[in-house]
A and B are shown apart, each in its own frame.
Chain A
């Protein structure tokens, strides 16, 4: 906290204390790096190869994209649990469109975006303008999307469209980050096309949240809707846009999912919404809104994946360990957030917070 009460101009280029968003982001990145280094030291092997990192991106490109959407919604103080369902619906619709209706890649991308936007539009309107609880609306959205997925097709579908298969097989090769196989061949680092899209989305959402009026309004709305209103922000419209963008990103995420798996299945992206929420939380997005960063969300996804890899590497090969550790991490981060931020707030305001004293950290001034 600010200790010297000088006139700011005289301060020169003094480093600012971290904002809540930055603090949580730093914690996440530190934990991720520490964990990854630990994994490299203890288990070596795959963790030493850049391809391990690349595979994390390859396998999670769509999760990264839908988590970005969720981060936006959560920053604005809402929640969207329909994203997994939308992803599944998009995947199935696109596959069926490509194979059975002779669609092109272009039209299937349009289809994906259209489905996402439609969900975002309806959900956003219901939540922002009709003031219905976001949980209920997006829950219904999830039900609807999952149900519609099976209406589109109950049977699993594999894409046979030639152009699409070429797109799916497309790899971006980075020779200098490859490794030498046992037979002496150099195997270059490989990134899928989806990763490029995912990173582009992260960049765009970062710009949106950091540099645009809408983005900053979202933070204000999530931080304190009442104040935001008093400061002259259109709270309803901001909320509406957050769901709209989330729906759109779920659509893109669905298409990227398809480029990774190449097949549509009614159970696709099961639980993706909860993984996305968990990633956002681990990445330092506050459940109560107003605090969060999309870079953190990216690291949140990577952290979750790293944990899973570590669990595998450490010999806990039983399938249940991954999700139990995910749950434990989630619990840890939720408590950490609650305690750290309560501690931060303690020194600042004399408003009594609900967190009991013994759980608050003392802040030195």
Chain B
């Protein structure tokens, strides 16, 4: 068996300022194997891949590639490609305006002239060989996303790769398309290519992979044969508790407000990004959570509630009265606040000052013609900088010069300032230090006591256990279960996620 190993990474470590991203991680890839790399956000998957593809340089450890000299150093993606390590990313890195054949050959032909006929013939052969349903002369953009992914894979294969890294290639594809990609992967496997497969969809892992390596917090949890590791255990390993420990955990005492008045209610709500209609209600002073692995549709659901994507159907009632929420401003007027999942893209306005970022939402609600005076704005900003202990040189500092955790607090302050009746927090603790995480959790509980309804989403299930009195469990873009009160244990959550497929 040992001869089959084509790639071995030993004791790989990589640190970023303040974070140990990888600590002594081992990874082995064998010939003709599909190897899934699993772990929640921040587990170190992408760091490991980037070390392998030369985007980052490792701090310690060694990488051996069969057939190449031992202990290699990879400095750039170009070098990785030359060594036979190809990567296909989640976002397609081809040119949509060119033909399929060109996309397979551009950037690596030596001649000044383009030999169209030869190129088309060769690429046609490869496509046929791999069973990819694309024609060489077709414009890439006219192919479905799945086929585009396959073309990217074909390009990688033609460059003679031994190790193929697929970084979430399926996250934007539908079931049929995923099946097509899987067929191609199995085909490649039969040809002896080693495939490193990263995905957030559990089901897909069990469909194609032979082995699973699990990472958590930058450390190796273990390497398993897929058939030896039931789904429940995989989830447990990813999240970090052994099954035996799970029953021991006791939830903190939070009363489940059963008789409370309904703060928000939605029936058959759906949006462009969240096509499967769902129904949902939340009471006054309740903290509920949407849980499920990344990509399960939890963020899309809450975005639909806030009207962040185009709402396509559904009835909504706020405080018992029917409401029309089609765009964020409607939601804000109805007392809903939303802290977005992706702080950089959707949350911060980085060039503006902390003060302006804090008062933004309240200012918008107050209206275009009623700006707050400088003194008022300063008072608001100072109040919340103090209350949330935001570390900034002054309220005038541009937000982009603050650390991630402080930026998040500024956005939290922005919504707290509007005194919402219903606050949606999507991953409020992502990428922040532990101290701040605890602060935010405490704040959530305090707000709930004051009567604010809160939806809390986190990849770290322990946080949800500590704060939520009701958990809605999602899997593959559908709600698969709801846990209340004492039912909320990690064990139950995992069982529900794992069973959700049935």
Q: A2-B143, A230-B93, A290-B97 are contacts. A8–B128 as well, Cβ < 8 Å?
A: yes
Interchain CB contact under 8 A, A350 and B172: yes
Interchain CB contact under 8 A, B139 and A8: no
Chain B positions within 8 Å of A2 at CB level = 133-135, 138, 142-144
Cβ-based interface call for A101 (8 A): no
- In the bound complex, CA of A291 to CA of B114 (Å): 18
B130 closest partner in A (C-beta): A7
Interface size on A, residues (CB 8 A): 43
Interchain CB contact under 8 A, A217 and B106: yes
103-130 of chain B: CB within 8 A of chain A: 103, 106-109, 111-114, 116, 124, 127-128
Chain A positions within 8 Å of B94 at CB level = 224, 227, 231
Name which of A223, A231, A291, A345 has the most chain B CB atoms within 10 A of its CB.
A231
304-363 of chain A: CB within 8 A of chain B: 344-345, 348-350, 352, 357
Interchain CB contact under 8 A, A216 and B114: yes
Interchain CB contact under 8 A, A212 and B112: yes
- In the bound complex, CA of A345 to CA of B103 (Å): 18
> Which of A9-17, A104-112, A113-121, A241-249 makes up part of the contact surface?
A9-17
- Chain B interface, DSSP helix/strand/loop, else mixed: loop
Cβ-based interface call for B320 (8 A): no
B109 closest partner in A (C-beta): A213
Q: A2-B138, A20-B139, A220-B95 are contacts. A8–B107 as well, Cβ < 8 Å?
A: no
Chain A positions within 8 Å of B116 at CB level = 211
- In the bound complex, CA of A224 to CA of B95 (Å): 6
B174 closest partner in A (C-beta): A350
Chain A positions within 8 Å of B337 at CB level = none
- In the bound complex, CA of A7 to CA of B139 (Å): 17
Chain A positions within 8 Å of B441 at CB level = none
Q: What is the minimal beta-carbon distance from A35 to any residue of chain B, in angstroms?
A: 28
- In the bound complex, CA of A222 to CA of B96 (Å): 11
Q: A8-B135, A217-B106, A350-B172 are contacts. A19–B93 as well, Cβ < 8 Å?
A: no
Name which of B95, B99, B132, B310 has the most chain A CB atoms within 10 A of its CB.
B95
B81 closest partner in A (C-beta): A232
Contact of A8 (CB < 8 Å), options: B93, B113, B127: B127
Q: What is the minimal beta-carbon distance from B57 to any residue of chain A, in angstroms?
A: 19
Count contacts between A and B, CB distance < 8 Å: 116
Chain B positions within 8 Å of A257 at CB level = none
Cβ-based interface call for A219 (8 A): yes
Interchain CB contact under 8 A, A9 and B128: yes
Interchain CB contact under 8 A, B93 and A231: yes
Interchain CB contact under 8 A, A21 and B113: no
Interchain CB contact under 8 A, B172 and A19: no
Contact of A223 (CB < 8 Å), options: B95, B128, B136: B95
Cβ-based interface call for B192 (8 A): no
Chain B positions within 8 Å of A348 at CB level = 141-145
Cβ-based interface call for A228 (8 A): yes
Interchain CB contact under 8 A, B139 and A220: no
167-224 of chain A: CB within 8 A of chain B: 210-217, 219-220, 222-224
Name which of A210, A217, A345, A348 has the most chain B CB atoms within 10 A of its CB.
A348
Chain B positions within 8 Å of A214 at CB level = 112
- In the bound complex, CA of A35 to CA of B133 (Å): 40
Interchain CB contact under 8 A, B93 and A227: yes
Interchain CB contact under 8 A, B95 and A290: yes
Q: What is the minimal beta-carbon distance from B255 to any residue of chain A, in angstroms?
A: 41
Q: A8-B136, A222-B97 are contacts. A352–B272 as well, Cβ < 8 Å?
A: yes
- In the bound complex, CA of A223 to CA of B107 (Å): 14
6 sample A-B contacts, Cβ–Cβ < 8 Å, listed by A number: A16-B138, A17-B138, A212-B113, A224-B95, A231-B95, A232-B78
**9 additional contacts, CB 8 Å, given A2-B144, A231-B106?**
A2-B133, A2-B138, A5-B133, A213-B109, A215-B114, A220-B97, A228-B107, A231-B103, A344-B141
